[in-house]
Amino acid sequence: MSGPLLQVRAVSRWFGGLRAVDEVSFDLGSHEILGLIGPNGAGKTTLFETISGFIRPTKGAVTFDGRDITGQPPHRLARLGIGRTFQIVQPFREVSVLENVIAGVLGPNRPTADPRVEAMAVLTRVRLDHRAGVLARNLSLPEKKRLEIARALATRPRLLLLDEVMAGLTPAEIDEIMVILADIRREGVALLIVEHVMRAIMSLSDRLVVMANGRKIAEGLPAIVAADPAVIEAYLGRRHHGAA
Amino acid sequence: MKSMLALGLVVALLAAVAPFLSIYGQHIFVLVALYGAVALAWNILGGMAGQMSLGHALFVGAGAYLSTALYLNLGLSPWIGLVLAACLGGALGALMGYTVFRRKLSGVYFALVTLALAEMTLHIVSNVPALGAANGLAIPAQPSMANLQFASKLGYCYVALGVLAVVAVAIIAIHRSRLGYVFLAIRENERSAAALGIDVVQGKVIAAAISGALAALVGPIYANYVLFIDPESVFGITLSIDALLFSFVGGLGSLFGPLLGTVVLVPLTELLRGLLAGRLAGIHLIIYGVILVLVMRLAPRGLWGLLSDAIARRRA
Amino acid sequence: MDLLPLLPQALADGLLLGAVYAIVAVGLTLTFGVLRIVNFAHGDFLALGLYLTYLGAIWLHLDPYLSLVLVLPLVTLAAAFVYRLLIAPIILAPEHNQIVVTLGLSLILQNAMLAIFTADLHAVPSVLSGRIVNIGNVFIQAAALIASAASIAVCLGLYWLLRSTELGRQIRAAAQDRDAALMSGVNVDRMYLIAFCIGVGSLGLVAPLIAPFNYVSPSVGSNFTLTAFIVVVLGSMGNFVGALIGGFVIGLVEAVGGLLTGGSINFIITYAIFILFLLFRPEGLLGGRRL
């Protein structure tokens, strides 16, 4: 595997006069977990939307596995191997957990031997197989989060974008997700994670990218980034010591 | 394959029962089968894919006029007219879908566009002398298989049942294929659908094309049953609203709810018409309106939803 | 056939027709354009007002310009009743709920009027019935002239109401961002109710004004409902001056189109314009907020 899996090159997104994302660049390797952090309003979500195809960047380029995917629509990116979850989980409420995941299996329009079997395998990976027949709207929040991950996994991504997947979970539930994500990485999926739950992203990530006011202000190993005065000033500071 | 077998059984049963119905009963049979087919076809776009059309009469009328005009002018058998009607309906649906959905028009705007398209077509046809203008087209009664005309109502029962079966087969086939999941995802959450690799616009266009093609099949059958069509009867908003109404009352999200709604409401309407003998015009429409409002407020998943809830409770 | 001498009359007819379309549509501009409430029964409230005006004439021998005083509050009351009973409970529900519920309401209203009054056309006698004003070689119905003046006044009045009054400010706040408005103390429910009543109740003003030159029939409603939606989209959603302009455009298109082609071609043109605008210029003639 030559070259990084994902290359973000000087991506900018302006809304009128507001520079929500300003010349952000970084690479992601094919077996990496990259954490994207920063205070609220730093532009992380906008950058996410740009990489996952829901918003076109005003300037800059995004490359995936060597090919230029700038401005490509989300469904094409999914078929190329980029999956994502959404911050506000929205499962297909009126059908079962299994059907939700089958939708993920069939979505990219790839040939499959048996969608049900494949979907059950994915559900097993996220420890949701015992809830396969339950209607999605009857799930608890942590279960819905895992369903969200399962559905994205079902599309057989090589890169999974996770948008604040730990938000609203208890520490025990966060630990569960962390185990699942570590398993996913072990199976060969790269992860780009936006997160506010500090302890989770610090221990999961191989590297961190820190954004503030639309710009990248730091990049590197979590321990080093955490000690960067610019980062502390922008964001971490007192919060890191007591963060959960 | 279980559903196909079940369908086959139901069709066989209905086919066996038809000869024993009275003439009036057979008339109701034909109406229920035809309206049911339109409602089921509407539901593919409206219920399965979540895009509510208020102008589905466009497809029925297109099918009816195409088949009838070809028969009257070129002597073309309505059986061929049926196939051509489906092609026209499908093409119209695809064209409409492609122009509308690409602009990201949905919800009430899509409903308004479909309404305007149907009304516009009604007025256009009303002004085309070759299509009979506002007076419509009459088909001379010449019962024969080739003309898709039958001396007794029984023949029409079977043909109408056939169209209904075709629509039902299409629905079952969609449901168990990837397309069924595509429609489901689009209906539930378009953003999530896109993130799962689904081309949302393409999915909607396919839904519109299939829905239009199947609805158009009803046109030629209706035309040859009544032996007369005019713009108001096949392009009119009443028909469009009926499709929507039967689907809602029967159960929007389900596969065959619309048929249930048709089975309940069409005989009810005929009964009312019989009882009131046209004295109080429009009473059945008032009742439709009341039922629609009540269903929306009290039982949004329609009769089918009520039934499945009752069965689930019985099991628990 | 030389149509040119007939053009001024067609233009006059078009402007007057357009003014009627505008005053019918302006209420929808408020309920749909601003509040985003889908009400397919809008035109049926107009029909209701017309029948009330008719009853006022045959039971109380009131001229429409007098029965206005009764019809306006009655229609507004009906609007309030409908809002509380049908719309308020589903205001936050998916859009198709409103479409279906108001379609049901439209069926009920239209056919109730059909059942009670039959499909016969009725004319409402008025002191101004048949009174014609002559400008050059153009003939204008005096009642239509009054209705047009009222139309301009109502459109500008609603524009002023929404822009420059406290009530208008609150309505706009409630419509734009429900949660933010709630937090700043706006009674969102009440604002919606008031705005809906103004929007639909305005038809209680329109009905007596157009009764002297419009037949009363149950299907008046559906004719006007679709045209009202067209005018609202054409005039840019939520834009009251736009409703006036949109109304005039449609009126002129129909009148001049009718002159040039005869027959119901004019409806076809109107619908075609509507579809084209939705597809290619959904922000309407005056631009601004997109759909």
* Interface test with chain B among C108, C116, C224, C289, by most B beta carbons within 10 Å: C108
| Strands, sheet with A6-15, edge to edge from the N-terminal-most edge strand | A18-28, A6-15, A59-64, A67-68
Cβ proximity of C213 and C148 under 8 Å: no
3-state secondary structure C175-205: HHCHHHHHHCCCCHHHHHHHHHHHHHHHHHH
Residue of B nearest to A154 (CA): B196
**Neighbouring C-alpha atoms within 13 Å toward the C-beta of C44:** 19
Residue of A nearest to B188 (CA): A92
* Separation in Å, CA of B191 to nearest CA in chain A: 8
Query: Is C233 in the B-facing interface, judged by CB distances under 8 Å?
Result: yes
Segment C161-178, tens digit of pLDDT: 999 999 999 999 888 888
Q: In this predicted structure, what is the pLDDT of residue A241?
A: 46
* Interface test with chain C among B95, B112, B128, B187, by most C beta carbons within 10 Å: B112
Cα dihedral sign, A190-A192-A195-A199: positive
Q: What are the residues facing C134 on neighbouring strands?
A: C139
Measured CA to CA, the distance from residue A63 to residue A84 in angstroms comes to 16
Query: Is C112 in the B-facing interface, judged by CB distances under 8 Å?
Result: yes
pLDDT (mean) for A26-54: 91
Name which of B27-41, B191-205, C3-17, C196-210 the model is least confident about. C3-17
Q: Is the pLDDT of residue A157 over 70?
A: yes
C with A: touching (≥3 Cβ pairs within 8 Å)? no
**Neighbouring C-alpha atoms within 13 Å toward the C-beta of B181:** 25
- Name the token pair of C133: 């004003």
* Interface test with chain B among A50, A55, A75, A156, by most B beta carbons within 10 Å: A75
Q: How far apart are the first and last CA of chain A?
A: 36
Query: Is A54 in the B-facing interface, judged by CB distances under 8 Å?
Result: yes
Among candidate residues B176, B153, C27, B285, the one with its CA nearest the CA of residue A115: B176
Q: Is the pLDDT of residue A94 over 80?
A: yes
* Interface test with chain B among C96, C260, C289, by most B beta carbons within 10 Å: C96
Q: Of A112-116, B31-35, B305-309, C86-90, which one has max mean pLDDT? A: B31-35
* Separation in Å, CA of C145 to nearest CA in chain B: 30
Residue A15: φ, ψ to 5°:
-115, 95
Given A86, A108, A109, which is nearest B192 (Cβ)? Answer: A86
* Separation in Å, CA of C165 to nearest CA in chain B: 30
**Neighbouring C-alpha atoms within 13 Å toward the C-beta of A11:** 33
Is there a contact between A90 and B197 if contact means CB atoms under 8 Å apart?
no
Q: In this predicted structure, what is the pLDDT of residue B46?
A: 93
* Interface test with chain C among B190, B272, B285, by most C beta carbons within 10 Å: B285
Segment C216-229, tens digit of pLDDT: 988 888 889 999 99
Q: What are the residues facing C132 on neighbouring strands?
A: C141
Q: In this predicted structure, what is the pLDDT of residue A243?
A: 45
B-chain CB neighbours of A93 within 8 Å are: 188
Is there a contact between B281 and C108 if contact means CB atoms under 8 Å apart?
no
DSSP code string of A124-141: HHTT-GGGTTSBGGGS-H
Q: In this predicted structure, what is the pLDDT of residue A242?
A: 43
Measured CA to CA, the distance from residue B292 to residue B208 in angstroms comes to 24
Q: In this predicted structure, what is the pLDDT of residue C182?
A: 87
Query: Is B255 in the A-facing interface, judged by CB distances under 8 Å?
Result: no
Amino acid letter at C290?
R
Is there a contact between B292 and C99 if contact means CB atoms under 8 Å apart?
no
Task: Note the helical H segments in chain C.
Answer: 7-28, 42-60, 64-82, 95-117, 142-164, 166-176, 178-183, 188-210, 220-234, 240-261, 265-280
Q: Is the pLDDT of residue A235 over 90?
A: no
Residue B101: φ, ψ to 5°:
-75, -25
Residue C122 DSSP one-character state: B
- CA A149 to chain CA mean position, Å: 9
Segment C255-286, tens digit of pLDDT: 988 888 776 678 888 999 999 998 888 888 88
* Separation in Å, CA of C291 to nearest CA in chain B: 9
Query: Is A39 in the B-facing interface, judged by CB distances under 8 Å?
Result: no
Query: Is B24 in the C-facing interface, judged by CB distances under 8 Å?
Result: no
Residue with tokens 């909607």: B204
Residue of A nearest to B189 (CA): A92
Measured CA to CA, the distance from residue A191 to residue A205 in angstroms comes to 9
Q: In this predicted structure, what is the pLDDT of residue B282?
A: 74
pTM for the whole thing?
0.91
Query: Secondary structure of chain A: what % helix, strand, coil (to 5)?
Result: 40, 25, 35
DSSP code string of chain B: -HHHHHHHHHHHHHHHHGGGS-HHHHHHHHHHHHHHHHHHHHHIIIIIS----S-THHHHHHHHHHHHHHHHHH---HHHHHHHHHHHHHHHHHHHHHHHHHTT--THHHHHHHHHHHHHHHHHHHT-GGGTGGG-EE-----BGGGTB-SSHHHHHHHHHHHHHHHHHHHHHHHTSHHHHHHHHHHH-HHHHHHTT--HHHHHHHHHHHHHHHHHHHHHHHHHHHSEE-HHHHHSHHHHHHHHHHHHHH-TTSSSHHHHHHHHHHHHHHHHHHHHTTSSTTHHHHHHHHHHHHHHHH-TTHHHHHHHHHHHHHH-
Low-confidence ranges of chain B (pLDDT < 50): none
H/E run at residue C140: strand C138-141
B-chain CB neighbours of A94 within 8 Å are: 188, 253
Segment C39-58, tens digit of pLDDT: 999 999 999 999 999 999 99
Q: In this predicted structure, what is the pLDDT of residue C281?
A: 87
DSSP code string of A81-110: TEEE--SS----TTSBHHHHHHHHHHTT--
- Residue A58's pLDDT band, with cuts at 50, 70 and 90, is very high
Residue A71 DSSP one-character state: T
B-chain CB neighbours of C267 within 8 Å are: 119-120, 123
Q: In this predicted structure, what is the pLDDT of residue B315?
A: 76
Q: Is the pLDDT of residue C102 over 80?
A: yes
A with B: touching (≥3 Cβ pairs within 8 Å)? yes
Cβ proximity of B245 and B288 under 8 Å: yes
Q: Is the pLDDT of residue C20 over 60?
A: yes
- CA B132 to chain CA mean position, Å: 24
Measured CA to CA, the distance from residue A79 to residue A108 in angstroms comes to 5
C-chain CB neighbours of B290 within 8 Å are: 104, 108
Residue with tokens 């086939």: B173
Q: Is the pLDDT of residue C250 over 60?
A: yes
Measured CA to CA, the distance from residue A101 to residue A144 in angstroms comes to 12
Is there a contact between B192 and A93 if contact means CB atoms under 8 Å apart?
no
- Residue A237's pLDDT band, with cuts at 50, 70 and 90, is very low
- Other CB atoms within 10 Å distance of the CB of residue A67: 8
Cα-based distances in Å from A57 to A9, A71, A219, B272? 11, 7, 21, 61
pLDDT (mean) for A8-30: 90
Give the mean pLDDT of chain A: 90
A-chain CB neighbours of B182 within 8 Å are: 106-107
- Residue A238's pLDDT band, with cuts at 50, 70 and 90, is very low
Cβ proximity of B235 and B61 under 8 Å: yes
Query: Is A104 in the B-facing interface, judged by CB distances under 8 Å?
Result: yes
B-chain CB neighbours of C263 within 8 Å are: 127
Query: Is C90 in the B-facing interface, judged by CB distances under 8 Å?
Result: yes
Query: Is A78 in the B-facing interface, judged by CB distances under 8 Å?
Result: yes
Long-range contacts of A225-232 (CB under 8 A, 24+ apart): A226/A202
Measured CA to CA, the distance from residue C200 to residue C76 in angstroms comes to 7
Q: In this predicted structure, what is the pLDDT of residue A95?
A: 92
Segment B184-210, tens digit of pLDDT: 999 999 999 999 999 999 999 999 999
Measured CA to CA, the distance from residue B224 to residue B169 in angstroms comes to 23
Residue of C nearest to B110 (CA): C278
Residue of B nearest to C97 (CA): B296
User: What is this model's ipTM?
Assistant: 0.90
Residue of B nearest to A148 (CA): B192
Give the mean pLDDT of chain C: 89
